[in-house]
Amino acid sequence: MNTTRHWPKRAFILSRALSRAFSDTPSPTFPLKHVTRSNFDSALVELRSHVRAADFVAIDMEMTGVTSAPWRESFEFDRFDIRYLKVKDSAEKFAVFQFGVCPFRWDSLKQSFIAHPHNFFVFPRQEIPLDRTSYEFLCQTTSMDFLAKYQFDFNACIHEGISYLSRGQEDEARKRLISPKGDQLTHLSHNLRETMDLPLVRVADVLFTERMKKRLGEWRDDLLQNRVGGPQEEKVPDDLNQQFRTVFFKMRPALSLDGFTSHQLSLIRMVTRKHFKDLTYVCFNGESTSEELVVYTDSESDKARLMEEVKNDHQRSAGMKINAAVGFRHVIDLLSSENKLIVGHNCILDIAHVHSKFLAPLPSTAEEFVSCVNRYFPSIIDTKILLNADYTLQRKMKRSSTSLSSAFSLLCPEIAHGFTRNVLSYEPCVKVEVHVDEMRSSNWNSGAKHEAGYDAFMTGCVFAQACSHLGIDFQLHSPSENLTQNEKLQKHMNLLYLSWINGDIIDLRTGNRSAELSGSNMIRKPYRKILFKNIVLLWGFPSKLKPSMIRDCICKTLGPSSVISTYCIDQTAVFVQFSKAELASDFLNLKETLEQSNDAISHLHPLSQLLEGGNTRAASYETYKEICASPISKVLFADQAEAVGIKWKTELLPSDKEESHDNTRSHLESGMDSPQAVQKSKTRNTEDVVNDSSNKRFCDDIIDSFLKVEKIRRTTNL
């Protein structure tokens, strides 16, 4: 009774003790350094020192979308090269709004990793004039809604996001700077080139030029008269008092022009060139403003020196603008130049975005893509590869999802949930301490998931813990040891999932498809082998037909075992996989033959339901690649094919194109009595049959047609 009476108090004391044992007081929020263009320069200097000292750098991105059309999703029937084309399309069409960079350094004294998570807001703002007037990108509603759900700051991104130039764009800008046409970039077009005389067709222009001629002449004469005493205050009419102001420009007297229109400035430039040999019109671009000046020069050589000085100043200023416009790409250059191990989670799309946004336009083939990526980033690890390549890790994941958040919660519970190690922990966890500015923390509440900086931090933590499970002991890790040379990581290095659905892995060293390592297929269900030469692509068929109905139509003609499966691309297109390549060829030939005819047999054929409406298209798998490679993205696949320019109804296989369609037709109608009957069937159409004067003959034709269809079906099934 006494024990029972005191149990609530004892339970409370025990609860307090366990609470203290399990947790220090966590920080209210996860420490994360947010970087916008206002603090980018200082943050870049800081990041540079962290990256140089890092053992590896984890990255992550938040994008405006993933797929530009439903049919551009990753499908089971997508071939290896098709999967790359879909990744390419996504990276080209969508923007990166956030880029997370988190360097991790092992501290042997603290026996802990030190992480420096950075969350960069990025926005493709055009800072210097290039060929395009502005950048364009797509926004996928589901992705934008997803970002909004996690309180993404769109205002900070758009107003304060860091702009960037790719390497290709920077090269283009610098070439324009040093080329004769580069005057547009430096605003020297009206200084270094002869100005053509403007036609003075308006009375106002004539009066204005005479007025400017007089005003410039008075100013020049006054300078010459007062050179010994220096520039004097000039008495000018009130309306010009604010527009002309005497200043010094590069140790020369000059008139600053203010309040004139661009047309009036062109007239002043023309007057200066035509009537004053010792006056030079100059446009000077400062850091934030430009100034129009008329400068006095003593001689032709002095004038030449002035123009050379102005040209050098303009090019120097333009070069600084280009350097500033490079923007966030300085971060990419830093990661590349330091040659650190780059860690991502399911990061093929992230790497494609890096290539497309910051290096150069994506190439058309996976082989070219990996060649460029490997040149700039020779060491990349995908944590999804690690999680699915080791049986112990898969057992630890309990066959659950290998999403980043799931992996973080299961592999790094102490870090994810903000409590320190205690006696009840049955497995050691690699410790991580976060440093942001002056803040040091190893305890915090859960961070903001789906902010790129925090996701990059989670990715790095998952990698560190996965390495521990793979037998890499960081307590023995030397600061001079390079993780890129670690033998236990080498077999996982530079392998990325091109598609998680089928387990397609691309090797960044060769561009080839790589087989999954043993134990990697335990979570994902195995898929049947696909023979792409047996596949026919169908689109534009009647909307009432479902994939199962299409299969039935074909099986009635070519036999019940002729079709292995049908796969829906979208509501307008399907893949049909035949059991044999010959059957795919036979189907294409039969379809074309039936479409060329319009007789009773064609209308009563089992395929007539599929061909109804005359818009059904059929082609080999290579046509699917051609359509996927197009930069166009229509919502429906049938519309996409039309936009790409595919007008034909049936594309025969290469070997079939050499054969005569007449021979195929003769084979199909071998039951007819004579060649005349074959010709008669080819030329007859439905309207001829309906208008036949003999009802008996019409009925006989229908009966014969049924018999012939049955004979075709039996012959084909055999």
Report the first-to-last Cα separation within the chain, whole angstroms.
Answer: 90
CB 562 within 8 A of CB 555: yes
Contacts of 220 (CB under 8 A, 6+ apart): 276, 278, 279, 296
State residue 667's pLDDT score.
40
Average pLDDT, the chain: 80
pLDDT in the model for residue 619: 94
Average pLDDT over residues 650-678: 49
Question: Is the pLDDT confidence value at 696 over 60?
Answer: no
CATH number of this structure's domain 532-644, picked from the four choices 3.90.1150.110, 3.40.50.300, 3.30.70.330, 3.20.20.80 = 3.30.70.330
Q: Which two tokens stand for residue 405?
A: 């958040």
Q: How confident is the model at residue 179 (pLDDT cuts 50, 70, 90)?
A: low
Mean pLDDT of 602-615: 86
- CA 221 from chain centre, in angstroms, equals 62
Give me the amino acid identity at 458: M
Q: How far is residue 385 from each of residues 80, 95, 361, 496, measured CA to CA in Å? A: 17, 26, 27, 7
- Between CA 338 and CA 331 the distance in angstroms is 11
What is 257-308 written as a DSSP string? E-S--HHHHHHHHHHHHHH-TTEEEEEEE-SS-EEEEEEE-SSHHHHHHHHH
- Most confident option among 133-137, 146-150, 285-289, 672-676: 146-150
The highest-level CATH class for domain 33-164+329-472+480-514 is alpha beta
Q: Examine the pLDDT at 533 and tell me if it is beyond 70.
A: yes
Instruction: Burial-class residue 241 by CB neighbours within 10 Å (0-12, 13-18, 19+).
Output: exposed
At residue 674, the 3 state secondary structure works out as coil
Please tell me the predicted confidence (pLDDT) of residue 652.
Answer: 77
Taking each helix axis as running N to C, give the angle between helix 452-469 and helix 404-411, from 0 to 180 degrees, rounded to the nearest 10: 50
Asked if residue 228 has pLDDT above 70, the reply is no
Query: Is 661 exposed, middle or buried (CB count within 10 Å of its CB: 0-12, 13-18, 19+)?
Result: middle
If you average pLDDT over residues 392-401, what whole number do you get? 70
pLDDT at 28: 60
Q: Tell me which residue of 653, 499, 495 sits closest to 588, measured CA to CA.
A: 653
Residue-wise pLDDT for 554-593, tens only, equals 999 999 999 999 999 999 999 999 999 999 999 999 999 8
The reported pLDDT for the residue numbered 106 is 94
351-395: per-residue pLDDT in tens? 999 999 999 999 999 999 999 999 999 999 999 999 887 777 777
For range 487-515, the mean pLDDT: 86
Query: What is the structure's pLDDT at 141?
Result: 94
Residue 105 has pLDDT above 50, yes or no: yes
Please tell me which residue, 498 or 393, carries the higher pLDDT value.
498
The 563-570 sheet, strands edge to edge: 563-570, 573-578, 535-539, 617-620
Ranges of each domain in the chain: 33-164+329-472+480-514, 187-224+240-309, 532-644
Q: What pLDDT digit, counting tens, does each position of 306-340 carry?
A: 988 888 888 888 888 888 899 999 999 999 999 99
Give the global pTM.
0.79
For the segment(s) 187-224+240-309, the CATH number from 1.10.10, 3.40.720, 3.40.50, 3.30.1370 is 3.30.1370
Q: Find the mean pLDDT for residues 208-230.
A: 83
Task: Look at residue 663 in the predicted model and tell me its pLDDT.
Answer: 43
Helix (H, G, I), strand (E, B) or coil at 567: strand
Classify burial at 286, counting beta carbons within 10 Å of its beta carbon; exposed 0-12, middle 13-18, buried 19 or more: exposed
Tell me, what's the pLDDT at 544?
Answer: 93
Instruction: State the average pLDDT over residues 113-122.
Output: 96
